[in-house]
Amino acid sequence: MHLRSKPWASDWLAEHSDIVIDQDRATAQIGQWQSLFDQEQPIHLEIGSGKGQFILGMALAHPEINYIGMEIQETAIAIAARKSFDQVGTLPNLRYIYGNGNGVETYFEKGEVSKVYLNFSDPWPKKRHESRRLTYKSFLKSYEAVLPEHGEVEFKTDNRHLFEYSMVSFMDYGMRWTPEDYTLDLHADEDKVQGNVETEYEQKFMAKGQPIYKIKAHF
């Protein structure tokens, strides 16, 4: 996703540091994330939360979970956080990190995150950019470092090649799943689409009739 930079983004983020945590503060927060939420309850983390429709939808649908959207693009995180703030104010169970997925183990202790979401991650189709894909082994290592034993990564994409690549990357890492854990056409699967919160990309690709691939893979 390539967004035109917004002149207001930087100031808005500085003024809303209670909602959007920057990398330095995220690093200092390690082991103490529950203190930023109203309720002590499981934390689910989306890596690459983009313009934030998914994480906001999830936070509204699941008050029993604390959500964190992490995004490396300043414009995207500012759009996401401002939109949610303007729509519903400061939600008790939603925060953002303006930071990098590779740094996730510097922000969280082992087991501090109960689940990781990856939605419509950049496919980085060129072979030489493999290490930037959010399902590359170095990222998997980071996710494993913050999840509990046998923790779960839930991954949605419209991109067949990224999905194929990711299955073998998961396998290479020893991750597991069963046929109940995936669908290769989410919106044609009545059971698995239950409770699905759509992202901006998902709606765009659905409108084109493209299938959405989804898997829950476990360490």
Please report whether residue 125 would count as binding a copy of itself according to CB under 8 A.
Answer: no
Residue numbers in the known binding site for substrate are: 126, 158, 199-202
The answer to whether residue 147 forms part of the interface with a copy of itself (CB under 8 A) is no
User: Does residue 219 touch a copy of itself according to CB under 8 A?
Assistant: no
Q: How far is the CB of 141 from a copy of itself (least distance, A)?
A: 16
Whose Cβ is closer to a copy of itself: residue 111's or residue 174's?
174
Q: Least separation, in Å, of the C-beta of 142 and a copy of itself? A: 20
- For position 163 contacting a copy of itself by CB under 8 A, the verdict is yes
122 assigned to active site: yes
Q: Is 37 in the site for a copy of itself (CB under 8 A)?
A: no
> Judged by CB under 8 A, does residue 164 bind a copy of itself?
yes
Burial 164-201 (b: 16+ CB within 10 A, else e): ebbbebbeebebebeeeebbeebbebeebeeebbbbeb
Q: What are phi and psi of 124, to 5 degrees?
A: 40, 70
How far the first Cα of the chain sits from its last, in Å, is 28
State yes or no: residue 167 binds a copy of itself (CB under 8 A).
yes
Distance CA 100, CA 62 (A): 25
Residue 182 binding a copy of itself, by CB under 8 A: yes
What are the b/e assignments for 121-160, b being 16+ CB within 10 Å?
Answer: bebbeeeeeeebbbbbeebbebbbbbbeeebbbbbbbbbe
CB 32: neighbour CB atoms within 10 A? 10
Element (H, E) at 75: helix 74-88
Contact map string, positions 183 to 202, toward a copy of itself, x by CB under 8 A = -x------------------
Q: Which two tokens stand for residue 182?
A: 């995936």
Determine phi and psi for 19, rounding to 5 degrees.
-100, -45
Q: Which of 122, 172, 181, 185 is catalytic?
A: 122
User: Quick one: which of 168, 188, 203, 204 contacts a copy of itself (CB under 8 A)?
Assistant: 168
Window of 15-23, 76-84, 118-126, 172-180 that interacts with a copy of itself by CB under 8 A = 172-180
What three-state secondary structure class fits 153?
Answer: strand
Which residues are catalytic, by number?
Answer: 122
Binding residues for a copy of itself, per CB under 8 A?
160-161, 163-165, 167-168, 171-172, 174, 176, 178-179, 182, 184
